[in-house]
Amino acid sequence: MIDDLRPNITEIKIEKRDAIFKAAIDVFAEFGYQCADVQEIANRAGVGKGTVYRYFINKEQLFWATSLYVIQSWCELLIPIFESRDDAATKLRNLTIERSRFFENHPNCIEVMALQRAQFRGSIPENIHKYFHNQFFDPIMKVINDGVARRELQIDDPQAFFHTYCAITHGATISYCHFEKFISLTEMTKLSIDTLLNGVQKFTCPTTDSEKSLPAQ
Protein backbone atom coordinates (compact mmCIF):
# COMPACT_ATOMS: atom_id res chain seq x y z
CA MET A 1 0.00 0.00 0.00
CA ILE A 2 1.28 3.45 -0.89
CA ASP A 3 0.17 6.27 1.40
CA ASP A 4 2.13 9.11 -0.23
CA LEU A 5 2.01 10.24 -3.82
CA ARG A 6 5.65 11.29 -3.85
CA PRO A 7 6.20 15.02 -3.15
CA ASN A 8 7.84 15.81 -6.47
CA ILE A 9 4.58 15.12 -8.30
CA THR A 10 3.92 18.83 -7.71
CA GLU A 11 6.96 19.65 -9.83
CA ILE A 12 5.37 18.35 -13.01
CA LYS A 13 4.31 21.05 -15.41
CA ILE A 14 0.54 21.25 -15.55
CA GLU A 15 0.37 20.29 -19.23
CA LYS A 16 2.62 17.27 -18.78
CA ARG A 17 0.83 16.21 -15.60
CA ASP A 18 -2.58 16.35 -17.24
CA ALA A 19 -1.30 14.46 -20.27
CA ILE A 20 0.06 11.65 -18.09
CA PHE A 21 -3.09 11.40 -16.00
CA LYS A 22 -5.45 11.49 -18.98
CA ALA A 23 -3.42 8.81 -20.73
CA ALA A 24 -3.36 6.73 -17.55
CA ILE A 25 -7.14 7.01 -17.19
CA ASP A 26 -7.64 5.69 -20.72
CA VAL A 27 -5.08 2.89 -20.45
CA PHE A 28 -6.28 1.67 -17.04
CA ALA A 29 -9.88 1.79 -18.26
CA GLU A 30 -9.07 -0.04 -21.48
CA PHE A 31 -6.72 -2.75 -20.19
CA GLY A 32 -7.40 -2.95 -16.46
CA TYR A 33 -4.75 -2.54 -13.80
CA GLN A 34 -2.79 -5.75 -14.31
CA CYS A 35 -2.46 -5.41 -18.08
CA ALA A 36 -1.92 -1.66 -18.17
CA ASP A 37 1.55 -0.88 -19.55
CA VAL A 38 3.40 2.18 -18.30
CA GLN A 39 5.12 2.42 -21.68
CA GLU A 40 1.72 2.67 -23.35
CA ILE A 41 0.73 5.41 -20.92
CA ALA A 42 3.94 7.28 -21.70
CA ASN A 43 3.38 6.89 -25.45
CA ARG A 44 -0.14 8.26 -25.27
CA ALA A 45 0.98 11.12 -23.03
CA GLY A 46 3.76 12.00 -25.45
CA VAL A 47 6.51 11.62 -22.85
CA GLY A 48 9.28 9.13 -22.22
CA LYS A 49 8.76 6.18 -19.91
CA GLY A 50 11.59 7.51 -17.76
CA THR A 51 9.66 10.75 -17.30
CA VAL A 52 6.74 8.84 -15.80
CA TYR A 53 9.03 6.96 -13.41
CA ARG A 54 10.71 10.22 -12.47
CA TYR A 55 7.49 11.27 -10.75
CA PHE A 56 5.97 7.90 -9.81
CA ILE A 57 7.82 5.06 -8.09
CA ASN A 58 5.81 2.33 -9.80
CA LYS A 59 2.53 1.54 -11.53
CA GLU A 60 0.60 1.30 -8.28
CA GLN A 61 1.57 4.80 -7.25
CA LEU A 62 0.68 6.07 -10.72
CA PHE A 63 -2.71 4.39 -10.43
CA TRP A 64 -3.49 6.00 -7.07
CA ALA A 65 -2.24 9.39 -8.22
CA THR A 66 -4.52 9.04 -11.24
CA SER A 67 -7.41 8.08 -8.96
CA LEU A 68 -6.79 11.17 -6.86
CA TYR A 69 -6.70 13.28 -10.03
CA VAL A 70 -10.13 11.90 -10.98
CA ILE A 71 -11.56 12.58 -7.51
CA GLN A 72 -10.15 16.11 -7.47
CA SER A 73 -11.58 16.80 -10.92
CA TRP A 74 -15.17 16.16 -9.94
CA CYS A 75 -14.92 17.40 -6.35
CA GLU A 76 -13.79 20.81 -7.59
CA LEU A 77 -16.98 21.06 -9.66
CA LEU A 78 -19.06 20.67 -6.49
CA ILE A 79 -17.54 23.56 -4.53
CA PRO A 80 -19.95 26.26 -5.85
CA ILE A 81 -22.91 24.04 -4.97
CA PHE A 82 -21.66 23.41 -1.45
CA GLU A 83 -21.16 27.17 -1.02
CA SER A 84 -24.57 28.12 -2.40
CA ARG A 85 -27.47 29.26 -0.22
CA ASP A 86 -29.86 26.65 -1.59
CA ASP A 87 -31.90 24.49 0.78
CA ALA A 88 -30.52 21.09 1.69
CA ALA A 89 -32.64 19.05 -0.71
CA THR A 90 -31.74 21.30 -3.65
CA LYS A 91 -28.06 21.10 -2.76
CA LEU A 92 -28.13 17.30 -2.54
CA ARG A 93 -29.93 17.06 -5.87
CA ASN A 94 -27.59 19.50 -7.62
CA LEU A 95 -24.51 17.83 -6.16
CA THR A 96 -25.67 14.45 -7.37
CA ILE A 97 -26.51 15.66 -10.86
CA GLU A 98 -23.24 17.59 -11.28
CA ARG A 99 -21.24 14.54 -10.22
CA SER A 100 -23.14 12.30 -12.62
CA ARG A 101 -22.60 14.73 -15.49
CA PHE A 102 -18.86 14.55 -14.90
CA PHE A 103 -18.83 10.76 -15.09
CA GLU A 104 -21.18 10.72 -18.07
CA ASN A 105 -18.77 13.02 -19.91
CA HIS A 106 -15.74 11.00 -18.73
CA PRO A 107 -16.90 7.35 -18.70
CA ASN A 108 -13.36 5.98 -18.41
CA CYS A 109 -13.20 7.59 -14.98
CA ILE A 110 -15.94 5.20 -13.90
CA GLU A 111 -13.72 2.29 -14.90
CA VAL A 112 -10.84 3.70 -12.85
CA MET A 113 -13.15 4.05 -9.87
CA ALA A 114 -14.33 0.46 -10.28
CA LEU A 115 -10.71 -0.77 -10.43
CA GLN A 116 -10.07 0.61 -6.95
CA ARG A 117 -12.42 -2.04 -5.61
CA ALA A 118 -11.70 -4.80 -8.11
CA GLN A 119 -7.91 -4.65 -7.84
CA PHE A 120 -7.34 -3.39 -4.32
CA ARG A 121 -10.54 -4.53 -2.60
CA GLY A 122 -11.38 -0.95 -1.68
CA SER A 123 -8.14 -0.45 0.26
CA ILE A 124 -7.44 3.24 -0.37
CA PRO A 125 -4.24 5.13 0.57
CA GLU A 126 -4.69 7.32 3.62
CA ASN A 127 -4.07 10.60 1.80
CA ILE A 128 -6.77 9.85 -0.76
CA HIS A 129 -9.11 8.67 2.01
CA LYS A 130 -8.59 11.97 3.86
CA TYR A 131 -9.06 14.07 0.75
CA PHE A 132 -12.29 12.27 -0.14
CA HIS A 133 -13.65 12.74 3.37
CA ASN A 134 -12.66 16.40 3.56
CA GLN A 135 -13.92 17.36 0.13
CA PHE A 136 -17.01 15.16 -0.24
CA PHE A 137 -18.16 13.00 2.67
CA ASP A 138 -17.84 15.66 5.39
CA PRO A 139 -19.47 18.45 3.32
CA ILE A 140 -22.33 16.11 2.35
CA MET A 141 -22.86 15.21 6.00
CA LYS A 142 -22.92 18.91 6.87
CA VAL A 143 -25.58 19.59 4.22
CA ILE A 144 -27.71 16.80 5.69
CA ASN A 145 -27.24 17.92 9.32
CA ASP A 146 -27.96 21.55 8.41
CA GLY A 147 -31.07 20.45 6.55
CA VAL A 148 -32.30 18.55 9.58
CA ALA A 149 -31.51 21.47 11.90
CA ARG A 150 -33.43 23.89 9.66
CA ARG A 151 -36.24 21.34 9.35
CA GLU A 152 -35.82 21.18 5.58
CA LEU A 153 -35.30 17.43 5.82
CA GLN A 154 -37.36 15.06 7.93
CA ILE A 155 -34.75 12.49 8.93
CA ASP A 156 -34.57 10.52 12.17
CA ASP A 157 -31.08 9.14 11.53
CA PRO A 158 -28.86 11.52 9.48
CA GLN A 159 -25.97 9.04 9.45
CA ALA A 160 -28.12 6.27 8.01
CA PHE A 161 -29.51 8.69 5.41
CA PHE A 162 -25.96 9.70 4.50
CA HIS A 163 -24.99 6.07 3.91
CA THR A 164 -28.13 5.53 1.84
CA TYR A 165 -27.42 8.64 -0.22
CA CYS A 166 -23.86 7.51 -0.94
CA ALA A 167 -25.00 3.98 -1.80
CA ILE A 168 -27.61 5.22 -4.26
CA THR A 169 -25.40 7.77 -6.00
CA HIS A 170 -22.36 5.49 -6.14
CA GLY A 171 -24.44 2.51 -7.19
CA ALA A 172 -26.06 4.45 -10.03
CA THR A 173 -22.63 5.49 -11.30
CA ILE A 174 -21.12 2.00 -11.20
CA SER A 175 -24.19 0.32 -12.74
CA TYR A 176 -24.40 2.88 -15.55
CA CYS A 177 -22.33 0.68 -17.86
CA HIS A 178 -25.18 -1.85 -17.88
CA PHE A 179 -27.90 0.67 -18.78
CA GLU A 180 -26.18 3.33 -20.91
CA LYS A 181 -28.03 2.15 -24.04
CA PHE A 182 -31.37 2.83 -22.38
CA ILE A 183 -30.91 5.88 -20.16
CA SER A 184 -28.29 8.52 -19.55
CA LEU A 185 -26.41 8.51 -16.26
CA THR A 186 -27.73 11.97 -15.46
CA GLU A 187 -31.35 10.91 -15.98
CA MET A 188 -30.87 7.72 -14.01
CA THR A 189 -29.29 9.68 -11.17
CA LYS A 190 -32.08 12.26 -11.22
CA LEU A 191 -34.66 9.51 -10.80
CA SER A 192 -32.66 7.94 -7.97
CA ILE A 193 -32.05 11.12 -6.00
CA ASP A 194 -35.61 12.41 -6.51
CA THR A 195 -37.01 9.13 -5.20
CA LEU A 196 -34.81 9.39 -2.11
CA LEU A 197 -35.49 13.08 -1.45
CA ASN A 198 -39.23 12.78 -1.93
CA GLY A 199 -39.30 10.59 1.15
CA VAL A 200 -37.56 13.09 3.44
CA GLN A 201 -38.16 16.53 1.97
CA LYS A 202 -40.50 18.65 4.05
CA PHE A 203 -43.53 19.60 1.99
CA THR A 204 -47.30 19.34 2.03
CA CYS A 205 -48.44 16.78 -0.47
CA PRO A 206 -51.88 17.56 -1.96
CA THR A 207 -54.43 14.80 -1.92
CA THR A 208 -54.88 13.31 -5.38
CA ASP A 209 -58.19 12.29 -6.92
CA SER A 210 -57.27 8.64 -6.63
CA GLU A 211 -56.56 9.06 -2.91
CA LYS A 212 -59.89 10.80 -2.41
CA SER A 213 -61.66 7.77 -3.83
CA LEU A 214 -60.06 5.35 -1.41
CA PRO A 215 -62.42 4.04 1.30
CA ALA A 216 -61.80 5.18 4.83
CA GLN A 217 -59.83 2.73 7.00
Q: What averages of pLDDT result for each successive group of 10 residues across the chain (217 residues)? A: 48 80 97 96 95 91 95 96 96 95 93 88 85 95 96 94 92 78 84 88 45 42
Specify the pLDDT at position 140.
97
* Res 54: pLDDT: 87
pLDDT of residue 188: 86
Q: Is 4 helix (H, G, I), strand (E, B) or coil?
A: coil
> In which region does residue 86 sit, left (phi positive, over 0), alpha (psi from -120 to 50) or beta (all else)?
beta
Class of domain 7-201: mainly alpha
b/e sequence 16-48, b meaning 16+ C-beta within 10 Å: ebebbbbbbbbbbbeeebeebebebbbeebebe
